[in-house]
Structure 1
């Protein structure tokens, strides 16, 4: 019996996923049942919508959670592009809210297909946590670091964020202090080594 839970605020989207899951399971002759959202920890497969406060949320402990269940993220494509600061979320399989029904059906079929049963759980490696170095940063500091990582100068970054350049310098200084970095060269070296590969182009 495949157990499935959905943690999603949009009731229409939840209903749509339930219909697709039911159709796929019936086609595959797979027994299934839906668990209530509060029992999501017990589910084989969990559909999890991205929290509004994901930037400042506590640790999601995905390496631990994904040892026992398949977690599928629900978010918009634009939101997914910003998950470089939460690499454990970035690595999750994802359903985009913009996906067509056929695409969502294809994805869900792949995750539920019987030959994959028992192999559905793909744990996020614990080593990914070392890249979540920005969890203690403010939202503004995260935004600034994101712009710098994408190759923008401090002046351009400040302009994009509608900040005074001197204020942006203070934020950059705070970032460097938190990372234990002494100068801009080391900051760019850190970005190249640890964060650039997480930028979704």
Structure 2
């Protein structure tokens, strides 16, 4: 493996860690209705005999700022979808209508907002750990290239400096995402 390829792989892996964090943040409740809030809930569908993601079973829309509308493709799955939403840790109380399920998004209490901020910080820390793991892999790749004589000692130091620079910039981006999501959660 050449140094350029190694750096590109490291950067791509760090970018994927950031994307994963952004996806995780989409599931954190802020008091606004967002289909991302429930689209990845696991729903056990007895007639299919398996767990499926809610987005595979229904169309999820947000007709109002504080309301989600779930329209199942198969109306017979409505009770299972309703149960999965109710039993999730999101604190939502769905109501089945004729051909859809209405999910009102209640205002978050101050205590619940603080819990959400803790969750956001925890997710941010997990992303930083992921990025540091990727950094270690990049550093190990530099040592391996040095051992294989495809890098000089100075080349190894330069490569490690580049990996560290990538790590620092991605950790900074994680902190910015955490700060922005924290402000979003605490906004009334």
TM-score computed with the length of structure 2 as normaliser:
0.27
Please state which structure has a larger fraction of its residues in helix.
Answer: 2
Larger Rg: 2
The structure showing larger relative contact order (alpha-carbon pairs under 8 Å, at least 6 residues apart) is: 2
TM-score computed with the length of structure 1 as normaliser:
0.25
